[in-house]
Amino acid sequence: MSNTIKLKHPITIDGVSYSELSMRRSKVKDRLAVANMKDKTDEEKEIMLFANLCEVSPDVIRELDEADYPAVQKVYMSFFGSAAT
């Protein structure tokens, strides 16, 4: 399962235009991969995680407009809201 994030401010990286991103659900291995990055800040780890889940270069996430980044965070967090309690 994945969710599509429509960007308010499309970007172009290395000649590729992005007007939307598709984020897949996170797995434990995704979280572990960024947890083991000892030399990175929490923000850098989040960017790496989101890039991995969207299957894009971290440069794509870094280049996002500040108005679009909260939508990426919201989609990521929405995956946890559907968990059974």
Rounded Cα distance, 8 and 44, in Å: 23
- The pLDDT value recorded for residue 18 is 98
Three-class secondary structure of residue 27 per DSSP:
coil
Q: Which domain holds residue 75?
A: 2-81
In tens digits, the chain (85 residues) has pLDDT values of: 789 999 999 999 999 999 999 999 999 999 999 999 999 999 999 999 999 999 999 999 999 999 999 999 999 999 987 544 4
Q: Which CA distances in Å does 63 have to 1, 9, 24, 54? A: 25, 10, 20, 14
Q: How many domains does the chain have?
A: 1
- The pLDDT value recorded for residue 1 is 74
- Give the dihedral sign, CA 59/62/64/68: positive
